[in-house]
Chain A
Amino acid sequence: MESLLPKTYEEIPGCLRQMTEKSRFIGGGTDLIIKMRMGLAAPDAICYLGYVRELKEIRREEEWLSIGSCATMTEIEQDPEVREHYPALMDAAADVGSLQIRNNGTIGGNIGNASPAGDLLPVLYLYDAVLEIMGPDGVRRAGIDEILAGPGRLNLACNEAILRILLPPSTGYTSFVKLGSRKKVTISRIGVALRIEMDGDYVKEMKMMVGAIGIKPVRLEKAEEFIKGRTLNEQNILDIAAILSDYIREHVAKEFDRDYKVFASRGVVMDAFHRLRRD
């Protein structure tokens, strides 16, 4: 097994040139190492970008937030900019696995693993995240949805690395709530990410992304349309929960816990709306 271990930003392209279809990037390793031991991945080379200082940084770039792909869940959860301007990302990072997993697992790895239950994915869709990608010959940018292809699949060449996650300025109130089968150390069964802009007591605009109910995060446009111009009273929130239940009943296969998710979606939606208030 080869290891490709760039120590500086300038060394990355040279390492990328040596990668083949069988090579893999490792972020924390919390998913890849398990896959390797199960025989689901047998890379000829592993590229670890965690020694490159710039890829650990979380910083403002004018109005945007730039998150290095090797930033851990703990670093994201504790970052003051994330907490103030992207609280739904804080919610999602804080709820990943156990503390040991959050201290090790990275945002780049969460995207690269491309699990339908990936905790950060609905939130990255919510905030319209843009990925900065480096190939052997240069850097390009693409929206998260252009890159995420399906379970375990990305629209990236084998020698392209995710360097940074860029979040545009966030407006309105945002939140994320994950439902697992227990409180901690759990895999997402449903994840609801919300962004709301109010006009007085009325909803001006809502964006609602739901994770773990499809191969990629699902945008619930029907709910977004429904709530526009209405107030956030309990009945309206219950109606949104019903729209999600109906969607799950129609689109999720029975073997993916459909009946449980149809039932449980109500509580997740209510929690996500309550969390918008941050009190």
Chain B
Amino acid sequence: MRLSFILNGKRKVMETEPDRRLLDLLRKDLHMTGTKEGCAEGECGACTVIINGEAVHSCLVLACQLEGKEVLTIEGLEENGELSAIQRIFVEETAIQCGYCTTGMIMSAKALLMHNPNPTEKEIRNALSGNICRCSGYTQIIRAVKRTAAEGGC
């Protein structure tokens, strides 16, 4: 099928199969490997991207569901070749250990801050409850999201 959608702000037209997962479209077809595959069944959140402003699992969306939609991935966050505020603050707060969960974590946090620029800790924890990190105790991650909000950027 011919698929036309918006990827990180740019229109993308490609020939693909209707049952191609968005995750495979990104990683295998477009070689955008920032998005990670974890459990492949919607439990771990590693593959989270933002579609039409909402955090979703790219492992649980097919190409045939994407026509005309706006997809935002970790690659779309950088600004003029620099890390965006949320990425920089994740680094500065050591909210990254092995790094595998990080892109999903950042995309879930980004979606939260897009809807709610001043979340409470409870709201942050709720928004990230579908993202599993097996290194940290989440403390640094929560701190990074709080600081991003406090500094008014995401």
* A interface list, Cβ under 8 A from B: 1-3, 5, 26, 28-30, 33-34, 36-37, 46, 48, 50-51, 74, 97-101, 103-104, 183-185
Contacts and interface: CB of A to CB of B under 8 A. Distances in A.
B64 interface: yes
A5 to B, nearest CB: 6
A227 B19 CA distance: 51
Interface string B11-26: 0000001110100000
B67 to A, nearest CB: 7
B113 interface: no
A136 to B, nearest CB: 21
Contacts of A28: 60-61
A51 B67 contact: yes
A7 B45 CA distance: 30
Contact of A104 (B1, B45, B56): B56
Contacts of A104: 54, 56-57, 60-61
Contacts of A183: 129
Contacts of A2: 18
A50 B65 CA distance: 7
B60 A37 contact: no
Given A51-B68, A185-B43, 8 more contacts: A5-B67, A26-B65, A98-B42, A98-B131, A103-B51, A104-B60, A183-B129, A184-B130
A51 to B, nearest CB: 7
Contacts, number: 87
Contacts of A50: 65
User: Which of A33, A74, A97, A185 has the most CB atoms of chain B within a 10 A radius of its CB?
Assistant: A33
Given A33-B62, A48-B64, A99 B55 contact: yes
B126 interface: yes
Interface of B: 1, 17-19, 21, 40-43, 45, 48, 51, 54-57, 59-62, 64-65, 67-68, 108, 126-127, 129-131
Given A46-B18, A98-B45, A103-B55, A3 B64 contact: yes
A55 B64 CA distance: 17
B64 A184 contact: no
Given A29-B65, A100-B42, A46 B55 contact: no
A29 B45 contact: no
A37 B45 CA distance: 18
A1 B45 CA distance: 28
Given A30-B60, A50-B65, A99-B55, A36 B19 contact: yes
Nearest to B52: A103
A183 B56 CA distance: 20
Contacts of B17: 1
Nearest to B3: A3
Given A29-B62, A33-B62, A185-B43, A1 B129 contact: no
B121 to A, nearest CB: 15
Nearest to A34: B41
Nearest to B64: A3
Contacts of A101: 42, 57, 60, 130
